[in-house]
Structure 1
């Protein structure tokens, strides 16, 4: 654990402004990209890169969107706030969030070196400050939408399977015919 003290000299902001499509899936992908930027989650896996490419959100299949939902559920903000994510409207200024290199950040806070994510130790590479609006727009609202989507998809699949089971049990789905 590193204890940092307040100094405004040597702070180097990193990151860039991006435009995120106004789509819950794209916004969830952006949230995951931010978390990958803060934590050492980039394992070189093309799947993770696919899940953070928010500009191409429309290329994800239904199963990939479900996997994205589960992945985001494993990096919940409530587990990261105060460790590598910090709420501070003032530091963010006109942006919804800002990233800083850890070794250059000087602030009155405790920053952990590693975080346990989905049963694995992950290194904290950077920290991110965010506004409440960022958290709502890119995490809470998209995750609510994606969770509801998964529930609807499961209900549709269950209903379809029930219909198939009914047709199979009653013989309604048989392909024989009666000739008179």
Structure 2
């Protein structure tokens, strides 16, 4: 796989979205491939379902009550690494506290996942990230996954290698 090119995935159902989350968890535990995950897609596209699959696969995930952070803005889950699940739906102009969470992710202190990442100001975009865009599909979901930055491209390569073991 060429990590400079995006990966396109067809996710026929909720189970496959959870499986993609589990595959991302395998990538997220490595310090060489841990990057921010920026999620873009409409309401009900599967963003929070993906996070649920990811969190459930990490150590401590059994204690994580994954829910959309639309009203809290940030949910923190007791996983290892800790997940900071950010939602920008209600703050389309960005928020300084979100940038603090992104900095903690860049420092390796947490795994930062941002829903509605299209609202993240360009200056706040992490240098190393995976961008996951949900695209319209006749049935199920279609995702475009792109790796940005050296660690983002490494994460994309690792994800592509992990997908067959996860049934994707």
Tell me whether the two structures share a fold, i.e. TM-score over 0.5. Answer: no
Superposition TM-score, scaled by structure 1 size: 0.25
Structure with the bigger percentage of helix: 1
**Larger Rg over CA atoms:** 1
Structure with the bigger percentage of strand: 2
Superposition TM-score, scaled by structure 2 size: 0.26
